[in-house]
Chain A
């Protein structure tokens, strides 16, 4: 009797210990995976699904990167061989290991017409459908790998110097980046040529970032979820008939906004300081 009690006890203890160890392992492993996938500022190949989805869909095979590396067009102007755009994240790159990405200042995306990197994707992490135009052909201009952002304080055009390097480098010349002409009041006789990026056109290829003349580029590509705001559905462009439809048939006096502040009377909050 005592012996079987002992056996049972031993069995229970071993089971508990195994469960405990498995839990520790599982927690550590989950922790690692969760940290590993949180590398926000990474640019993915054309057609990539939104980052969160991309990370669970990408099977890390490297076929996109191989297709990118082996282009006859991967040549510099002087005829020397150029590296492919896409890299595979390795240990120490601080990106989820084995996923493809690119760094515009090293090799930007040259936006090949036939987009070799996308159709080879076996897991559809690079979504070909998102790059098809109305005729059902691949169209690289539909890619949204990121969005270029201008830091106007370090951009010499905003100083009044005549630089349009990014504007000229852009593959969608005068569409993704346009120049805004403004009078230079300081000299009184010159114009500012200010680069303006249009997010509906910009593919995020990074040629502008590569071309930028400043020590650290004043124009740079960020993933879209980090470089764009979101207006939500609250504000409606009343002057835009199509947008106005979103408001529906509601009369103006039916449209009311309620938040914490509206519980108080206007005199209350106008006379007091309000914490926003």
Chain B
């Protein structure tokens, strides 16, 4: 029996948060209201997505104080504590792409990642910059105009409508198209959180002594370029593209991986 601790914890967090967002509309709860673009925690603390706020800024509009404060709170949280945890612990699209990925493994569709010429993992950073440029040109938050993330979130809260087609497209793209295509190559929001969370303190730590080089972790990891130290060095995963999902820890049968606090004294 494989260990599913972090997987279950993540699903509970994701579904729980979505339920709280849903309840704000359906039952009028004041725990977590709004959507990622801008939320209110306990009807008091503003939260806002930094990349959305940046798009609005480049669309040429001075943001209200609540959005600025909210974006700062979120930025500081992921910058200091969470790293890119938004992607694996909060974002609802993660459940869709994880399902696609799991099916991909079960159906044995190309297990290895194909190296596409123009769809590389760094493409998302270009898309992130492009999103800001397009926002400036068109005068609206460009990624928000088609973001599957908030489309899915609003779908859960207010009803999907035809928006479900976007979610299905992402699922099919990740299943039959590119392995880890959306979250690992395209999503500019993930790119933004990768940059924000680069120096965060919660990190996966590898213990080289215990590792038996089975490579289960690399198979399950959605961003397995960050696991370059496996069976080489006993260091932490410090790459900002690690989503702190903890799947590698779950699948490791040798206790060679664990969450730890980044060693602040040592430059790694």
Contact = CB atoms under 8 A, between A and B. Distances in A.
Contacts of A92: 161-163
Nearest to A17: B118
Contacts of A122: 34, 38, 40, 46, 48, 64, 66-67, 70
Nearest to A93: B161
Contacts of A194: none
B140 A70 contact: no
B158 A56 contact: no
Contacts of A52: 139
A65 B145 contact: no
The residue in B38, B52, B137, B160 that gathers the most chain A C-beta atoms within 10 A of its C-beta is B38
Interface string A1-36: 000000000000000011001100110011011101
A90 B56 contact: no
Given A88-B154, A88-B158, A59 B38 contact: yes
Count class of interface residues, chain A? 35 or more
Contacts of A29: 130-131, 134, 142
A63 interface: yes
The residue in A25, A87, A91, A96 that gathers the most chain B C-beta atoms within 10 A of its C-beta is A91
A57 interface: yes
Contacts of B158: 62, 65, 87-88, 90
B39 interface: yes
A69 B25 contact: yes
A123 B66 contact: yes
B166 to A, nearest CB: 7
Nearest to B166: A91
Contact of B63 (A37, A96, A123): A123
A55 B127 CA distance: 22
B25 A66 contact: yes
The residue in A30, A60, A63, A70 that gathers the most chain B C-beta atoms within 10 A of its C-beta is A60
A175 interface: no
A55 B161 contact: no
Contact of A98 (B53, B56, B144, B166): B144
B35 A60 contact: yes
B159 interface: yes
B155 to A, nearest CB: 7
B126 interface: yes
Interface of B: 24-28, 33-35, 37-40, 46, 48, 52-53, 56, 59-61, 63-64, 66-67, 70, 118, 126-127, 130-131, 133-134, 137-142, 144-146, 150-151, 154-155, 157-166
The 4 closest A-B pairs by CB, nearest first: A92-B162, A70-B28, A90-B161, A122-B66
25 contacts: A18-B126, A26-B134, A29-B142, A30-B134, A33-B138, A37-B145, A55-B139, A59-B48, A60-B35, A60-B141, A60-B144, A60-B150, A61-B34, A62-B154, A63-B33, A65-B25, A65-B158, A66-B34, A70-B25, A91-B164, A92-B161, A92-B163, A97-B163, A121-B64, A122-B67
Given A91-B163, A122-B46, A123-B67, 20 more contacts: A37-B140, A56-B59, A59-B56, A60-B37, A62-B34, A62-B154, A62-B157, A63-B38, A65-B158, A66-B34, A69-B28, A87-B158, A90-B155, A90-B161, A97-B145, A98-B154, A122-B40, A122-B70, A123-B64, A123-B66
